[in-house]
Amino acid sequence: MPPSLVTHPPIRSYVLRQGRFSPAQQRAYADLMPRLGVAYRPAPLDFAAVFGREAPVVAEIGSGMGETTARIAAENPGTDYLAIEVHAPGVGSLLKRLDAEGIANVRVVTHDAVEVMRDMVPEGSLAAIHVFFPDPWPKKRHHKRRLLQPGFAALAASRLAPGGHLHVATDWQDYAEHVLAVLSEVPILRNTAEGFAPRPPARPETKFERRGRRLGHGVWDLVFVRG
Ligand SMILES: C[S@@+](CC[C@H](N)C(=O)[O-])C[C@H]1O[C@@H](n2cnc3c(N)ncnc32)[C@H](O)[C@@H]1O
């Protein structure tokens, strides 16, 4: 899809709050962004130049504090990961973790994922896109802020290579049903399951998720493939 056809939603999927930016996160951010960060620029990235090699690339959208991103990257050293997160303290945590664990296959963009996917990620370039526990915006009047909307779903699908996967996980049932309906309407995507998918072993179960399960909360995985 030509970038000019993708209009940015007037309402963003996040609100940047002045959260706590701990000294350790700030230090990691200052020290490591020059090496592991990619600045937002409205120009397509050359992944081979960004990662210093030719390898499949996965986009992790909303990487949060980075536990899952770091784990998946450590378990898949042959794949490169582009983590996209607006919350700088979270990026600081991810960077600190990458440095401490010597994980070399992650680069980070601190910017709105809608704009990064639209402007920087070339069409047909990704082996997979992970959107794990996107902000649920549970109040009905806030549903319009949810990231997974028809426009973003079409944009994300266009960035996948043929055979690439779009994997979404959420612990909000009504968001899960909404995502299922939205992704099912994208012509170039096919659901890999009948409805929701079993949790793929490649998605590590988080502490928060284990606690949720004990409390009887559900988690819904959706795995679609680009035809
Ligand atoms: C509920 S957290 C989940 C974090 C992580 N994926 C996990 O499973 O722990 C959602 C994250 O998405 C980020 N986020 C929301 N909208 C975003 C956007 N448009 N671009 C980049 N990050 C976004 C938020 O800042 C937040 O860190």
Q: What is the CATH number of the domain that holds 46?
A: 3.40.50.150
What percentage of residues in the chain have a pLDDT greater than 90? 86
Instruction: Give the residue, by CA position, lying nearest to ligand 1 atom 23.
Output: 62
Residue to mutate, 6, 11, 12, 14, ligand 1, most ligand atoms under 8 Å from C-beta: 14
The reply to whether 11 falls in a domain is: no
Q: Would 9 be classed as within a structural domain? A: no
Type of residue numbered 167: H
Q: What is the value of pTM for the model shown? A: 0.94
Does residue 81 contact residue 73 with C-beta atoms inside 8 Å?
Answer: yes
Distance CA 151, CA 69 (A): 25
Does some domain include residue 201? yes
User: Would you say the CB of residue 107 lies under 6 angstroms from ligand 1?
Assistant: no
Q: Is the CB of 135 under 6 A from ligand 1?
A: yes
Interaxial angle between packed helices 23-36 and 88-101, expressed in degrees from 0 to 180 and rounded to the nearest 10: 70
Maximum pairwise Cα distance, the chain? 47
Asked whether the predicted pLDDT for residue 147 surpasses 70, the reply is: yes
The pLDDT assigned to 10 comes to: 66
Residue 63 within any structural domain of the chain: yes
Residue at 128 is within a domain: yes
Kind and range of the H or E run holding 131: strand 126-132
Residue 174 a catalytic site member: no
155 CB within 6 A, ligand 1:
no
How many domains would you assign to the chain?
1
- Of 173, 182, 175, whose CA–CA distance to 152 is shortest? 182
- Non-local CB neighbours of 93 within 8 Å, separated by 6+ positions: 25, 28, 65, 66
pLDDT of res. 212: 78
In a domain, 1, yes or no: no
Task: Provide the pLDDT confidence category of residue 206 given band limits of 50, 70 and 90.
Answer: confident
How many angstroms does the Cα of residue 104 sit away from the middle of ligand 1?
22
Taking the C-alpha atoms of residue 170 and residue 176, their distance in angstroms, rounded to an integer, is: 6
Amino acid at 174: D
| Residue that is written with structure tokens 């179960």 in the block | 205
Summary mean pLDDT of the chain? 94
Catalytic residue (choose from 135, 171, 174, 221): 135
184 Rama class: left (phi>0) / alpha (psi -120 to 50) / beta:
alpha
Ligand 1 atom at minimal distance to the Cα of residue 62: 12
Residue 26 lies in a domain: no
Q: In 10 A of CB 16, how many CB atoms?
A: 10
> In terms of residue numbers, what domain contains 192?
31-226
Inside any domain, residue 122:
yes
